Structure 1
């Protein structure tokens, strides 16, 4: 058996990894830990939305692809070490693009037996506007998805 665990370094994704490991270990299953690199655009300095170019340059910062890859590799290595400590065979895979697209595609290509993902504690209004990775994985994946709180 091969389980995919999506991690992003957050506490919910660590709980998803721990849950996957407790299931994988007695089954002798392998775990592939994945992280999808999608550089972030950050808005800092105030709660008002950016309205036009004049003030945007002072408040909008884009993470470089290199920085996103470095951050992702650190997250993946920490997760792989955690799996090894639990006695579970684990590999890592750095994916690129929107995680709601790249993770289900990878899981399908890898013929995964299941995906584990952490639940994000977004408020209902925000989640209703943009959705959540966990919700989208459930919708798009061709294998079972376990969402861990």
Structure 2
């Protein structure tokens, strides 16, 4: 069996990893933990909600790809260490582009049996503007997706 865990370093994605590792330990599944480098939008620069896409440019911080890669490597390193502490080895991989597209394409290429993802990512405001990665994975994936709260 092959499990894919999509992470962004959020508390919910850490719980998704924990859940996937618990299942992997009982099913002898291989686990790949992935982080999608999608530096276009990271977080709000202000507390006020964005009213429209035109208003968004006044409230969003744009991140460069190098910073996004560095953050991804950090998050994946933490995931590897967490798995090792539990006596498990995981493969890690940086993906590039839209998280929904890159994770579902990887799942298809690897003939994965399941995808695990946290319910909410690092920035709920960003999800409110562009949509939830978890919801996108549920809609697009051709394998079961477990969304962990």
Q: TM-score range by the shorter chain?
A: 0.7 to 0.9
Corresponding residue number in structure 2 for 1:30: 30
List per-residue Cα deviations over 1:38-97 (Å, max 9, x = no partner).
112544246275968xx95xx654211000000000001101111122122210010001
Alignment of 1:40-119 (within 5 A): 40-45=41-46, 47=48, 56=58, 61-119=61-119
TM-score, length of structure 1 as denominator length:
0.84
* SS of aligned partner of 2:5: strand
Extract structure 1 runs of 4+ deviating beyond 4 A: 48-52
Structure whose alpha-carbon radius of gyration is higher: 1
Contact 1:107 1:115 (C-alpha < 8 Å) held by counterparts: yes
Contact 1:6 1:115 (C-alpha < 8 Å) held by counterparts: yes
RMSD (CA atoms): 2.5
Q: 1:5 and 1:46, CA in 2 relative to 1: closer, same or farther beyond 3 A? A: closer
Q: How many residues align?
A: 142
For residue 3 of structure 1, report the CA deviation from its aligned partner. Answer: 0.3
Q: 1:116 and 1:41, CA in 2 relative to 1: closer, same or farther beyond 3 A? A: closer
Distance in structure 2 (CA, Å) of the matches to 1:8 and 1:48: 22
Tell me, which stretches of 5 or more residues in structure 1 are unaligned?
none
Contact 1:30 1:88 (C-alpha < 8 Å) held by counterparts: no
Q: 1:19 and 1:51, CA in 2 relative to 1: closer, same or farther beyond 3 A? A: closer
